[in-house]
Each structure stands twice: as structure tokens, then as C-alpha cells.
Amino acid sequence: MLNVSSVCKEEVFKSLFIKHAETIRNFIYFKNGDADEASDIAQEAFIKLWQNCADVPMEKAKSFLYTVANNLFLNVVAHKKVKLTYASEKPKGHTHENPEYVLEEKEYGQKLEAAIANLSEAQRVAFLLNRIEGKKYSEIAEMLNISVKAVEKRIGGALLELRKTIGNI
């Protein structure tokens, strides 16, 4: 017996996909640094939701997706070291900036990437969801299935580590 907002209804499922697919993909991407793998895991999470749509109430669908995506991620990287890499492409061409400044900027970027990569996974995920995705602490807490206080502690710890590593710039 399906209720009005059943996940098994195609239009409901489609709206869930549109609303959550990108954030789930980014959630996994921040954990592993591999965009293609993150997309595959997000897609697999939605497949599992569709396969279990009769058993998942609408109000639990978002939580189900994040839990399944996280479990799939843990299965995929069980024996791999999690590594985060950012590839920020600068437009090629001429720049009017001082070459020394460009070099310092590049070195700072590398230092920042290394510092973020050296954070614990818990700190890195919470920090990037907040600073890159713009998620609120309460949203992060729901995604990670932890308390808001735990999110505050993780992000605070990440900021302390980053300040120690790269200084107060």
C-alpha cells in the first residue's frame, strides 16, 4: 500500500534525485577526492533507494541515501588510503601579476591542499562541507548522522590544525 508521497512514484523519486544527487556526490567527493567515483557511488545510492522504495518512507529517504552512499564509499575504499586532491584550473594565457606573487600564490595553494589532506577524514569532510559547499552545521550533522556539537568540534579542530600548519594568513 503506497501513500501519496511514496518514494516509488516516479515523479517523487525524480524530485528526490534532483534535490539530493549533487550534494550526495559532493559529500562522497569530499571523502575520496575522486569525482568519477563519487558520481558512481551517488548513482548507486539512488539505485538502492529505487530497489527499496517500498520499504523507505518519504521522510527517511534523504537519510537513507546518505547512509547508503557512505556505506558504499566505505566498501569501495576499505583498503585504499583516502586522498583528497583539488584540481583548480587557471585560465591559460598572459597574466599581469608579478611572477613572484604568482609563485607565492601557487606555493600557498599547495601548502593549503597539503594541510587539508593531512586533516583527519572526519575533520576534512565537515570542514569542506561547511566551507566549500556552504552547508550549515545542522545540515552537516544530519548528513553525517552526528550531533551539531560534534560538527562544531570537527570544524574547530580543523581550523586549529590549519592555523598550526599554514599560519594565520
The predicted-structure confidence for 21-69, as pLDDT tens digits, reads as follows: 999 999 888 887 788 888 999 999 999 998 988 888 888 888 899 998 8
Residue 156 binned pLDDT confidence (cut-offs 50, 70, 90): very high
Helix 121-131 and helix 99-117, axial crossing angle in degrees, nearest 10: 130
Distance CA 74, CA 59 (A): 25
Question: Which of 52, 83, 81 shows the shortest CA–CA distance to 65?
Answer: 52
Please say whether the beta carbons of 112 and 119 come within 8 A. no
Burial grade of 107 (CB within 10 A; 0-12, 13-18, 19 or more): exposed
Question: Which of 59, 55, 48 shows the shortest CA–CA distance to 5?
Answer: 59
Q: In the numeric block, which cell numbers belong to residue 164?
A: 598550526
- Residue 78 has a pLDDT of 59
- Residue 70 has a pLDDT of 86
- Residue 152 has a pLDDT of 94
Residue 162 binned pLDDT confidence (cut-offs 50, 70, 90): confident
Q: In the numeric block, which cell numbers belong to residue 22?
A: 549533487
- Residue 87 has a pLDDT of 38
Please say whether the beta carbons of 119 and 82 come within 8 A. no
pTM of the model: 0.50
Mean pLDDT of 69-89: 58
Mean pLDDT of 2-17: 77
Give the number of other Cβ atoms within 10 Å of residue 131's Cβ.
13
